[in-house]
């Protein structure tokens, strides 16, 4: 099963993605984690991504698409995967589709986590990651609205989208997500 977890920053994609991945026994692939790891290791990718991440902008499509082409070609992805943080733009979604078509695969379901704006800001400021400073948080929310939210419609039109309420206890949200896969 190939899944996409969609949602604004702070919606719990990371937390829920890990839980769902474990439950479904498929790798959870987080572009945010890949980029933070690259940053920590000061790799070429990390150096390229650093400035964008620090100001809450998206890393350029061609960079992230290259990363994902490589990652999804690895052996552990052959039995399916859950994507967290990718695609984040329509161009990325189109590139993903092209990649999948080439290997005779497809996206099975897109789960969209919905959380109120107020709660998003509280969660992010509360977790205190380097890019969770208030100004950067506002910027990331704006980038989400402008560049990522159009994917909700994109996948709705393809008949792949399920909207899941992302507020409440972590375990409950996980069961809602699992239920929406049935
Ligand atoms: P969040 O969803 O909370 O914003 P992530 O860990 O998914 O956090 O992403 C952190 C940062 O990494 C983003 O603000 C962006 O700069 C970069 N990033 C992650 N995924 C992508 C992507 N698919 N395309 C472009 N940039 C990305």
Mean pLDDT of 109-132: 92
At 66 the three-state DSSP class reads: helix
Task: Look over the chain and give the mean of its residue pLDDT values, rounded to a whole number.
Answer: 96
Other CB atoms closer than 10 Å to residue 116's CB: what's the count? 10
For the cut 90, the answer to whether the pLDDT of residue 127 exceeds it is: no
At 4 the three-state DSSP class reads: strand
Mean pLDDT of 149-153: 97
Tens-digit pLDDT profile for residues 56-95: 999 999 999 999 999 999 999 999 999 999 999 999 999 9
Tens-digit pLDDT profile for residues 35-63: 999 999 999 999 999 999 999 999 999 99
For the cut 90, the answer to whether the pLDDT of residue 142 exceeds it is: yes
Pocket residues for ligand 1 (CB within 6 Å)? 9-10, 13, 31-32, 35, 52-53, 56-59, 64, 85-86, 88, 92, 131, 140
Tokens coding 143: 């980038």
Dist CA 134 CA 64 (whole Å) = 25
User: How far apart are the CA of 106 and the centre of ligand 1, in A?
Assistant: 23
With tokens 């290791």, the residue in question is 41
Number of domains within the chain: 1
**End-to-end CA separation in angstroms for the chain:** 12
User: How far apart are the CA of 158 and the centre of ligand 1, in A?
Assistant: 24
State pTM to two decimals: 0.95
CA triple 126-167-145, angle to 5 deg: 75
Residues 6+ apart with CB under 8 A from 62: none
Residues 6+ apart with CB under 8 A from 120: 8, 9, 10, 11, 141
The conformation of residue 58, written as its DSSP 8-state character, comes to P
Q: What is the pLDDT of residue 96?
A: 98
Q: Annotated catalytic, 140?
A: yes
Domain containing residue 19: CATH number: 3.40.50.300
Nearest by Cα to 4 from 103, 128, 87: 87
- The domain containing residue 150 runs over which residues? 2-179
Q: What is the pLDDT of residue 134?
A: 87
């Amino acid at each position: 099963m190939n899944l996409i977890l969609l949602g604004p920053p702070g919606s719990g994609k990371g937390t829920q993605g890990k839980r769902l991945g474990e439950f479904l026994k498929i790798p959870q692939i987080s572009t945010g984690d890949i980029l933070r790891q690259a940053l920590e290791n000061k790799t070429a990718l990390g150096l390229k991504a650093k400035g964008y991440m620090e100001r809450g902008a998206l890393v350029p499509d061609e960079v992230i698409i290259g990363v994902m082409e490589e990652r999804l070609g690895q052996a552990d992805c052959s039995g399916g995967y859950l994507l967290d943080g990718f695609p984040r733009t329509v161009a990325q979604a189109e590139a993903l589709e092209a990649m999948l078509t080439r290997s005779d695969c497809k996206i099975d379901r897109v789960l969209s986590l919905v959380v109120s704006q107020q709660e998003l800001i509280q969660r992010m400021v509360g977790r205190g990651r380097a890019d969770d400073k208030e100004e950067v948080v506002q910027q990331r929310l704006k980038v989400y609205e402008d560049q990522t939210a159009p994917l909700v419609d994109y996948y709705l039109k393809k008949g792949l989208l399920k909207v899941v309420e992302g507020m409440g206890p972590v375990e409950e949200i996980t069961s809602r997500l699992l239920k929406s896969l049935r």
